[in-house]
Structure 1
Amino acid sequence: MSEFKYPDPNNLYPINNVKRTIYLKNIIKNPNIIVGDYTYYDDPEDIYNFEKNVLYHFEFMGDKLVIGNFCQIATGVRFIMNGSNHAMEGISTYPFKVFGGIWAKKDPMNVVSKGDTVIGNDVWIGNSVTIMQGIKIGDGAIIGTNSLVTKNVEPYSIVGGNPAKEIRKRFSEETIQFLLELKWWDWDVEKISDHLNLITSGDINALKEIFMNQKNKF
């Protein structure tokens, strides 16, 4: 039997004989959770824990969880969605309205949504990270284990702690801007595979040459 050439993003289990690591998009049932190709989730207990850990994600709120391509999501990562917000203008924060009856008519429940939660491409999220409502995490970021992410995370930055703070940038600002233009995660799988040694080794100069040659074709 000949070896397959490229991993298939539509394959639930991308690693032979390993059932704890999956290409995540293949188990998602909620239409308000959108996951890109080759993003994987690891969970030795139950791969279906992922959607269980997208918390307070009520349909009536309408918010989305959007995750890009080639992300790496560890066990126990939790996303706190906008259904967890409570109105705070009144004396009580109790959500009377959602329980119906006359309460639904008398409680205005002016809950403010913080918008969609958006995770960029090639983002590494460590074990047991919690990401709060409406957070935007930029491409290439790394989120340290057990972090509580309460603010947006810049592209190609490393953050950690409770609350999470920036530890350092992974590259210079010039290199980061180049990588955001390069968008290697949007290349077709053949092109990614042809240049994988450059992507994994961090050969920025060689990648710049490829990028300029591509631009000159148009």
Structure 2
Amino acid sequence: MYGPDPQNKHPMAGFAQICFIKNTVSNPNIIIGDYTYYDDPEDSENFERNVLYHFPFVGDRLIIGKFCALARNVKFIMNGANHAMEGFSTYPFAIFANGWQTAELEEEPPHKGDTVIGNDVWIGYEAVIMPGIKVGDGAIIAAKAVVTNHVAPYTIVGGNPARPIRQRFKDEVVQALLTIAWWDWDIEKITRNLDKIAGADIEALKNCS
């Protein structure tokens, strides 16, 4: 046997607080990798309620990689939350029609693209990720952080707005980890080498077979 079944919504028997959310998300614009879990004692299957202002007519996507750990009440603010700011008022008159559609401005509300979370990312309790943010592999987002800028791989950020606290490993180790990309190995290889993946010996990880 090679780890939990990635198709099992609740991989820990009798503990519904943990959910492999790839198996519960129905929105085609939310893409979740294998083994990524959401931890919520109230309703771990309903992760989509945390993806806010995600309107189908906007077309942006939330992409989350493999082996991510998402804590309770994380929030992803999508591009539908944005308002045009060049005019004197930010109020979206035009969406209400009935004569107000003439208030259309030349400027469209900002669209910052897809929100992309890498692999093996840990996002802490009640963190908020703003539209179009890119979070690199191996990053850690501290509890209640508000992430307004991209996060480099293997970097810890925290605060409001979130700022880098430290890089988890030296540059050469980070580059090696990104090259190895253990999360893309087949599950048999991952299982054989769990001690190397969970350890901190980069040479040992490089030599996994």
TM over 0.5: yes
What residue identity is the alignment partner of 1:35? I
Determine if the alignment matches structure 1 residue 17 to structure 2 residue 31: no
1:45 to 20, 42, 47: 42
Aligned to 1:60: 57
Aligned to 2:162: 164
What residue identity is the alignment partner of 1:188? D
Alpha-carbon distance between aligned partners in 1 of 2:198 and 2:3, rounded to the nearest angstrom: 16
Determine if the alignment matches structure 1 residue 93 to structure 2 residue 90: yes
Q: What SS does the corresponding residue of 2:165 show, helix, strand or coil? A: strand
Alpha-carbon distance between aligned partners in 1 of 2:45 and 2:190, rounded to the nearest angstrom: 29
Alpha-carbon distance between aligned partners in 2 of 1:107 and 1:48, rounded to the nearest angstrom: 39
Q: What SS does the corresponding residue of 2:94 show, helix, strand or coil? A: helix
- Superposed displacement of residue 105, structure 1: 4.9
Alpha-carbon distance between aligned partners in 1 of 2:70 and 2:145, rounded to the nearest angstrom: 13
- Superposed displacement of residue 112, structure 1: 1.7
Aligned to 1:209: 207
Aligned to 1:189: 187
More helix by share: 1
| Consecutive unaligned residues in structure 1, runs of 5 or more | none
Alpha-carbon distance between aligned partners in 2 of 1:48 and 1:206, rounded to the nearest angstrom: 37
What residue identity is the alignment partner of 1:82? N
- Superposed displacement of residue 49, structure 1: 4.1
2:79 to 75, 78, 82: 82
- Superposed displacement of residue 89, structure 1: 1.3
Deviations 1:53-107 (A, max 9, x none): 1111111111100000000000010001101100111122111222234333542
| Consecutive unaligned residues in structure 2, runs of 5 or more | none
- Superposed displacement of residue 110, structure 1: 1.3
Alpha-carbon distance between aligned partners in 2 of 1:183 and 1:176, rounded to the nearest angstrom: 11
> What percentage of residue pairs aligned between the two structures are identical?
57
Give matches, 1:99-178, under 5 Å: 99-108=96-105, 110-178=108-176
Alpha-carbon distance between aligned partners in 2 of 1:194 and 1:180, rounded to the nearest angstrom: 20
1:36 to 27, 33, 37: 33
Q: How many residues align?
A: 208
Deviations 1:100-143 (A, max 9, x none): 34333542461120111000000000000001111000000001
Say what the alpha-carbon RMSD is for the aligned residues: 1.4
